Structure 1
Amino acid sequence: MNRREIVLAPIVHVLGARPNFVKAAPVIDALASRGAEQIVVHTGQHYDEKMSEVFFHELGLPEPDVNLGVGSGSHAAQTASLLVGLEQEFTGRSPALVIVYGDVNSTIAAALVAAKLHIPVAHVEAGLRSFDMTMPEEVNRRLTDQLSDLLFVTSPEGIGHLANEGISVDKAHLVGNTMIDTLLANLAKFDSERVRAEHDLPERYVLATMHRPANVDAPETAAALVGHLHGVADLADLVIPVHPRGRANLMAAGLDEHPRVHVLEPLGYIDFIAAVRGAAAIVTDSGGLQEETTILGVPCLTVRPNTERPITITHGTNRLVTFEELVPAARKVLEAPRPDADRKPPLWDGAAGPRIADVIMEFLVEQP
């Protein structure tokens, strides 16, 4: 196969949730500059316009060639729909490579279908580990790494995790973080003052995002969480764009009943990161937000017992907290000087996308 034939063979990107779009944009752009034919499959795992389609417009991504529209459901029902839809797509297109991102159900479904069809798989954000198999994301990322031919790693410890699991280090490439590529490329657009004015937010606020099943799925847990979030609101106004997951339980627990809690609908990428940039602190259970705050220099309190992104703790602004630790930790960060945003993890420099594209093009040239 010559280079011209490789360029004409489609590379399929499978995207299903907000973080996927943010991570994919630099890779799609870099591959386009190298002449690769690309197909974007949006699975519809996130189907709210603010959670998915708006990201295509804001990040300059091409409109999806396909939207499978799988929607929500149990892990089994959603994954089953993804397997059927993706098998039809891959069989019809015969891609040279399938690229998957992160750790959502769309990621593992695409990797599994591609592997069984003998289509090479590239995993962007490989090697992350929380070592907590009760997290659906941990199951997804571990299995996806086992099925992948190219593993693109964001931070050095990921290489060790893959090696410990018997994955050849020849498949692993430390390339940096494409989510940070997107953040740095759009830095001038994150106008905190504009977002504050448009959403009538106070001058000083803590921004919160909560959506992990362990925190919001059980009504009693959601109620306990709301009580501690109200404790944070006693210290400073709390702004919380409410994710569709858990919205009913959080609102039923009285989330919006505190006078200093500002409940918003989900925000697009530009407005959301602008709100993060302007916050005095972040309270979250998100994975990607731990990374974004590390670059922006905003203190982050992650309400989880573990993180698959420990570099955000050792090299960034992040701290893990329990429910009971949340209010004291918030008081401490609100009283402390803002962290130094100039210290960045290695290769978090805005060039991960081009590094990935170079490896992919070389890989495709070498395929029989």
Structure 2
Amino acid sequence: MITTGIEDAYRESGALVHTLALRALGSVDEAEDIVRRVFASAAAGGSLDPADLLHDAAERITGDLERRVRAKLAALDDPTLGAEAVTDDRAVVAEADRILVRASLDRLAADDRDLLDRALVHGVPRYELAMALGISEDELEARLRDALLGLWHGQVPDGEHASPQGLASRALGIRVADGGQEHIRECRECRDAWRSLNNLVGSIARLPSSGPMVEPRPGLWDEVRVAVDAGPPEPEPDWREEARRDAERAHRRRTLVMSVALVAASVFAGLAVVLSQLMFEPDRASIAEAPLQDPRNGGAETGAVQVVAGEDGSEVIVVDGPYAEYPDAYLELWLIADGAEPVSLGQLTSGHYEVALPHSVATAVGATLEISREPWDGDAAPSGDVVARATLG
């Protein structure tokens, strides 16, 4: 059942929430949806204070704007989608504060409202304004100070602190000879109160950028009543968390696309090598061949090696297998013939390797070929583990 408190709050602040939503979202339907959500949430235990209602609306509006813009970016497949918000939530909150100030001004006496408007909004010099009103400048300044305090809803410092009148005068730029400057500099409470009053003066001065209040249509209250009677609404998703998840999904999508592209490029390059060998390299006569076996793994096959005839009749050793570069070591190819010292045939950095037989070795037929994993220690002699071995028969 609807409570009188919610109806009174709607009567007082419904236009404020509706105006803020309409200015920010630019859609009557979306603005009315914000009104229903704000008051249904307030009825379920939220605050009915106008400032709290407006700030709740600002949070919901920002979330709606965020999701709207991100949906457009996703539809455009924009690659710059990031974790940071793409809407200016501070601008929405600032507009909410201006609406509150305008509502407070409307509740002031007409003379005080006109005085603040002429002095702060239109910037009429005080001596000129005092002459137009037929009062002294001191009386004008007292009236300005009292009107400002009538708008202010901040916390008045208790105890031995600067007076609210003195703080308001300083916020208005009125000279104060009460000797309280040092106290304000050292007292956090007085400094916060002065800053609040000073911000209020700035908000009043910026009011011309804010348009008039837009009252909601008469039938909207009935819809708000239905939303309130329906019970607490579903919790609103956190738009900041949604933005973070969207950014993570976009990053994963870009990473996947890049990975697929790299794999495709690698496959294409491999196919290009094979095709080039098939199309442009003539068949070479095989002199000897043997499987490469891993002595660490019971002689499991780990590639193949063959000796083929080069164009000039020399022998060329061809190694194929699952070999690649290592970050902490390298693969060295060794030829051991007739019990002689191992002869280095160079480093393997890929799955296919060809090297001409050194002139110091008559033939590779009958020799043993070993691949060892060598540490980067500067030692040219074989000292690492043998990862593959074959005897060329």
Instruction: Give TM-score scaled by structure 2 length.
Output: 0.21
Which protein shows a greater Rg? Answer: 2
Higher relative contact order (CA 8 A, sep 6+): 1
